[in-house]
């Protein structure tokens, strides 16, 4: 066994772990740390792999995308030139923004409602709340389609399929995300705060807006981001609940993916959206952290 150097502090030898009869495994821990760090980077890279490939494709002049023929910016310049694609992109934003706003507002109110519910009733509602979240997309999509296929038979509603049906579907699966993000924040609020507001003469709905909403706004915002992401990304549920020509981007991609070529502009659009959002958030985060440092606020 190799003799190890003994360390001294103030002339007194420091005992090593071996001196107590244990083996020193700290080197293994260090190796593990390096390996696990590498693994973490690999996983995050894999999660982003497809997005990176799409970014590569967005600069490729070849429409068939089976070979990188020439570097080009044209797909970015012509992003909205294809009328069918820009129509689909427009619809995607329309549905996602409206669905996000509706579900954020409604979800916050519902979360407040659930917050003041107790016992069995609360548990029951929380269980039901998981259904839209965990149900298979295809089952959800078909369910809502079946409901509206029946409603459609009511005279005057025969053209209901399209924006309204898709909106209901999107709000349906976005609500649980908002609720689950808002509820934990509600729990963190001091219950006396609400009482104080009411004692000071605020009407309940005013108190809700002036006291509760500011206190839970980080939860609301997280819910909003989630709702938008889910709505923006959804394909299966939109596919079953759309109608009357209201196509969003995923439906457009699904129908044209096997055809001649996916218009390469769609790669450019996706790249702009993903990396644009990332840049915005990083900037926002950087600015807010600088602000915190500036004012000496530390959380």
Touching other proteins, residues 169-188 (CB under 8 A): 172, 175-177, 180-181, 183-184
Q: Does 125 bind other proteins (CB under 8 A)?
A: yes
DSSP label of 65: -
Nearer to other proteins, 76 or 229 (CB): 229
> Within 178-237, which residues bind other proteins (CB under 8 A)?
180-181, 183-184, 198, 204, 208-210, 213-214, 217-218, 221-222, 225-226, 229-230, 232-233, 235-236
Nearer to other proteins, 12 or 200 (CB): 200
Nearer to other proteins, 6 or 255 (CB): 255
- Smallest distance, Å, CB 296 to other proteins? 18
DSSP string, 172-200: HHHHHHHHHHHHHHHHHS-HHHHHHHHHT
**Residue of the chain from 13, 80, 113, 157 that contacts other proteins (CB under 8 A):** 113
> Within 61-100, which residues bind other proteins (CB under 8 A)?
61-69, 82-84, 87, 90, 94, 97-98
Nearer to other proteins, 7 or 81 (CB): 81
- Smallest distance, Å, CB 263 to other proteins? 8
- Smallest distance, Å, CB 156 to other proteins? 14
Q: Does 6 bind other proteins (CB under 8 A)?
A: no
Are 112 and 212 a contacting pair, CB within 8 Å?
yes
**Residue of the chain from 74, 133, 189, 202 that contacts other proteins (CB under 8 A):** 133
> Within 247-276, which residues bind other proteins (CB under 8 A)?
247, 249-262, 266-267, 270-271, 273-274
**Residue of the chain from 15, 31, 49, 77 that contacts other proteins (CB under 8 A):** 49
Bridge partners, residue 13, by sequence: 8
CB atoms within 10 A of CB 247: 22
Please give the Cα distance from 287 to 254 (Å, whole number).
39
Please give the Cα distance from 224 to 174 (Å, whole number).
9
Q: Let me know how long the chain is.
A: 299
Say whether 206 sits in a helix, a strand or coil: helix
Nearer to other proteins, 3 or 83 (CB): 83
> Within 152-171, which residues bind other proteins (CB under 8 A)?
152, 158-159, 161-163, 168
- Smallest distance, Å, CB 6 to other proteins? 23
CA-wise closest residue to 200 among 185, 213, 190, 210: 210
- Smallest distance, Å, CB 13 to other proteins? 23
- Smallest distance, Å, CB 10 to other proteins? 25
Are 98 and 167 a contacting pair, CB within 8 Å?
yes
Nearer to other proteins, 76 or 152 (CB): 152
Please give the Cα distance from 55 to 52 (Å, whole number).
5
Q: Where are the beta strands (DSSP E) in the chain?
A: 8-9, 12-13
Say whether 60 sits in a helix, a strand or coil: strand
Nearer to other proteins, 3 or 148 (CB): 148
Q: b/e for 76-93, b at 16 or more Cβ within 10 A?
A: beebeebeebebbbebbe
Please give the Cα distance from 198 to 192 (Å, whole number).
10
Please give the Cα distance from 32 to 38 (Å, whole number).
10
């Amino acid at each position: 066994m190799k003799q190890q150097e003994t360390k001294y502090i103030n002339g007194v030898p420091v005992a090593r772990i071996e001196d107590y009869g244990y083996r020193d495994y700290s080197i293994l821990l260090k190796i593990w740390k390096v390996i696990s760090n590498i693994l973490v980077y690999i996983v995050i890279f894999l999660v982003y792999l497809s997005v990176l490939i799409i970014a590569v494709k967005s600069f490729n002049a070849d429409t068939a995308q089976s070979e990188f023929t020439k570097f080009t910016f044209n797909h970015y310049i012509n992003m909205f030139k294809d009328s069918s694609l820009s129509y689909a992109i427009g619809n995607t934003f329309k549905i996602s923004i409206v669905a996000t706003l509706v579900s954020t507002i409604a979800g916050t109110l519902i979360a407040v409602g659930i917050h003041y519910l107790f016992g069995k009733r609360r548990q029951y509602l929380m269980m039901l709340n998981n259904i839209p979240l965990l149900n298979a997309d295809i089952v959800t999509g078909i369910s809502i389609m079946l409901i509206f296929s029946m409603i459609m038979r009511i005279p005057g509603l025969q053209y209901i399929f399209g924006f309204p049906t898709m909106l209901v579907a999107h709000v349906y699966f976005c609500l649980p995300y908002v609720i689950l993000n808002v509820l934990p924040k509600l729990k963190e609020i001091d219950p006396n705060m609400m009482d104080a507001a009411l004692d000071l003469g605020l009407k309940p709905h005013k108190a809700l807006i002036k006291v509760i909403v500011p206190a839970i706004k980080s939860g609301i915002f997280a819910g909003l981001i989630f709702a938008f992401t889910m709505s923006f990304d959804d394909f299966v549920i939109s596919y079953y609940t759309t109608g009357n020509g209201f196509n969003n981007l995923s439906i457009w991609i699904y129908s044209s993916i096997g055809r001649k070529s996916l218009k390469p502009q769609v790669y450019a659009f996706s790249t702009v959206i993903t990396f644009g959002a990332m840049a915005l958030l990083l900037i926002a985060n950087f600015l807010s952290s600088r602000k915190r440092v500036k004012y000496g606020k530390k959380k």
